[in-house]
Chains A and B, each alone.
Chain A
Amino acid sequence: MSNAGVFVKSVYTVLFTLFRGRYLALLLISVTVPSAILSVMMCTSSSLEAGIMLFESYTGSESLVWVNESLGDNCVEVSVSNVVVVDGKIVNTSLYVISNISKYIRITYLAVKGSINHVNGLNVSIGSGLAHLLNLSIGSRIRIIVDENKVAEVNVVAIHGSRGITDRGISDYLIIGGKGLEHVVNGTWLMHGYLCSMPRSHIMISMLKSIGGSIDHLLDVMIMLVISSYAAVIFSSLVKVSDEFSGIVMILWESGLSRRILKASYMVSLMLIALVLSFFGLSLGVAIFHSSLWILRFLGLYLPVKPLPSVPGIALTLLLTSIATLLASYATSNRIFQEGIT
């Protein structure tokens, strides 16, 4: 028989012994359980990604986002200043100096009382909440202090507010002015940028990614824990497994096999069995995660996703299992051959 044939036969013998042996339980603990745990973690991670895709399909109503660079026609240039309104009460608020007020009103869907066309020069539109708080009406004249030191008197020519009772926004407390107010502010902006109208899903996806990021972070921490701790567990389990092999190695040695072939077949068969058990663990993890999703349906929680571990994740798990097994089997094989074959 050729060397290759001897090697295959030897691997087969070792594998057969191992599968029928008492140490299979040990390998189940050290290889299958961590693979299954990694698999459910990967499924959770891919469910989050699938969830984000689900939210991407929802556009919802429009909302405004703040950006530094214009994103096109749905944007309006805004400069924000801190102002103090002194009118009986002292109220701190923001003054928005807007390049194109009609466009701003259009993209914010604001309801405006009074003539918005007059929001130029030292004329402003004030939010309905602010008007209510300070008891102001169209035609009132108010004193504002910009950036704590520049005082100006402005005319209230319009009052703006949100349209719905339960759909109120922060514009209720804003003062809006046109380019004419720029010389009052004189460059002391809190912020300068663009307000752009975008689908609401944009914010939800950003938020979901942030929350998903913190869950992913927990999963990463746990994956690191599983990998680092199981490196030790795999090694100690293989030390025990090597005890089982002393006997079979002696038999194979006595039947004329070379030390090199014996060592290689021991390492390869252990790696093969670890790969099989790891793949079994990964599949078990997927089955268990899907069963959990199914069980949750009885509690009224329905997740319309069918997650699977990512291919790189599977490859990495199998690679790590192979490396850990190879290193451990190399170390333990020396022990067997020193003790068993001298």
Chain B
Amino acid sequence: MRLFSMVAVVARVVGVKVFVFVAVSTLVLATILVLVASYSLFIININEYIAFPRLNNTVVVSGFALSPLSSLIKIDDVEKALNGTPGIRAIVYEVVTLAYVNDEVIVVRSLKARDLKMITDYVVLAGIDVYDYCTNCVWVGMDLARKLNINVGNILVLQSLFSKEPLVARVAGILLVDKPYSNEIIVSWMLGTRLRGVGDGYASIALVLLEPDVNKSLILEKLGISDVREQLLEKALLVLKYIGRSRRTLLYTSPDFYFARLGLPRELLLALALSIVFILSSGYYVLGQLPLVISREKLRLLYEIGLSETRIKLSIALIVAFITLSVLPLSSILSKIVLAAGNVAILGYDVEVNLDTLTLSMISAYMLLFMMLGLLMVSISGENS
């Protein structure tokens, strides 16, 4: 019997209802998996989301803590290390910290006004332009302003994790700017360092902007980063070891730093993701068995008239694989709808379903693996192994 005819016969014998049930269950389980994967990947990659350069040929230098929310680098050290290096267009220093504003935890970023102009194409929607000599002004990204209903002239009290005093600030402007800045609060450089609890001369990250034809490995060499770190360089995220190491004890002795790395929520989400993966594995396993188990008696007739067990299972496997692969894009759309309808956000950033092809392929492979395993473990004769 030809493959297509064989699959059609098996599909008719098992029945459309069973496969609809498999499709609906797969859709629900896949949506849960995509939701958990998106949220977990977002929170795991949040450091890169905050620090990742949005300009071409840029290297980000961070401290040993890896999280820009807790790392510190000494500006002098970076300047000394890169002094005289050809091909550097500019070095932009940023201080990034967390602040508690209007019952929300928001990322506050500070950089010099000219640097902000250099690395973003922002437009002032309301209020005044960003300027350096204001120590009680904040500029709010448009998306955040909309979310928290903030307008120019509002007074905000920012409670930073690293500063002993709260900041009473005026909203000086609303900025139309790209992500992630659109969900952040921008403050002057002077104010940002104090909110982070440090004096002049420290930054969270340094963005080294290179001329288009300059190779990033030149910076790697100048900063004395070993080859092991080269993979990180591909993401343009460098760890300035010798700067951070001396500060490591300071960074990890306080729960503030553990918190600033989103320690507890991050680890809990990892545990949740791991648990969901375990449960879904068993779910897919049973789901893979379902068409055969439910229609065993009818399928036994096919077996008795000469269709081999391998061929029957192959037909079911093909149908299940087709269902799974068709359902996955649907689950991605459903997850987007669920996240948008639920307004799911963390640190002011909207969580998005943005899984790349590799991750989606891995999710399909994982689902199919357990379904096929389940199918392999049952037999038409009724003896499950």
Chain A contacts to B: CB under 8 angstroms: 22-23, 25-26, 28-30, 33, 36-37, 40-41, 43-44, 47-48, 51, 55, 58, 60-66, 80, 82, 89-94, 108-109, 129-130, 133, 162, 165-174, 190-191, 195, 200, 203-204, 206-208, 210-212, 214-215, 217-218, 220-222, 225-226, 229-230, 232-233, 236-237, 239-240, 284-285, 288-289, 291-293, 295-296, 301, 303
Contacts and interface: CB of A to CB of B under 8 A. Distances in A.
A230 B28 contact: yes
Given A94-B135, A240-B18, A285 B279 contact: yes
B11 interface: no
Q: What secondary structure prevails in chain A residues at the interface with B?
A: helix
Interface of B: 17-18, 20-21, 24-25, 27-29, 31-32, 35-36, 39, 72, 98, 100, 103-105, 133-137, 155, 157, 159, 161, 163-168, 170, 190-191, 193-195, 197-200, 202, 250, 254-256, 259, 262, 264-265, 267-272, 274-276, 278-280, 282-283, 286-287, 289-290, 293-294, 296, 338-339, 341-347, 351
Given A37-B279, A93-B136, A51 B256 contact: no
19 contacts: A25-B286, A33-B283, A47-B268, A89-B133, A93-B135, A129-B190, A168-B197, A207-B98, A207-B105, A211-B105, A214-B344, A214-B345, A229-B24, A233-B25, A236-B17, A236-B21, A237-B21, A288-B278, A292-B271
Q: What secondary structure prevails in chain B residues at the interface with A?
A: helix
A218 B199 CA distance: 38
Contact of B259 (A62, A93, A204): A204
Contacts of A40: 272, 275-276, 279
Given A58-B255, A94-B136, A166-B199, A293 B98 contact: no
Closest 6 CB pairs of A and B: A221-B342, A173-B135, A292-B274, A92-B134, A40-B275, A229-B28
B279 A218 contact: no
A204 B25 CA distance: 41
Contacts of A303: 264, 267-268, 271
Nearest to B334: A225
Chain A CB within 10 A, most for which of B134, B254, B264:
B264
Given A82-B136, A129-B190, 20 more contacts: A22-B293, A26-B21, A37-B279, A40-B272, A44-B268, A51-B264, A60-B256, A93-B134, A166-B197, A166-B198, A168-B193, A169-B163, A170-B191, A203-B161, A207-B161, A207-B259, A208-B259, A208-B264, A222-B36, A236-B20
